[in-house]
Amino acid sequence: MEPTWKLARENCKKLLCELIVSKADGIFPQAKGIVLPNLSVKT
């Protein structure tokens, strides 16, 4: 059970990151350089 949950969490994190990055890309292209390092530090 645990590996499945872990995998689901990783996938969710990835999707969330992609969503944030794509939104940042569309609305604030210059914010990408700020958002990406913050995400890598947290994850």
The domain limits of the chain are 2-42
Q: Which of 17, 19, 23, 22 is nearest to 38 (CA)?
A: 17
Task: Name the residue with tokens 């996938």.
Answer: 11
Please list, in sequence order, all residues whose beta carbon lies within 8 angstroms of the beta carbon of residue 20, skipping any fewer than 6 positions away.
35, 39
Checking if the pLDDT of 7 tops 80, the result is yes
| CA dist., res. 27 & res. 4, Å (int) | 34
Q: What is the pLDDT of residues 20-41, one digit of tens each?
A: 777 766 666 555 566 556 555 5
Cβ atoms of 35 and 20 closer than 8 Å: yes
Structure token pair of residue 10: 């990783």
Structure token pair of residue 16: 């969330």
The pLDDT value recorded for residue 21 is: 74
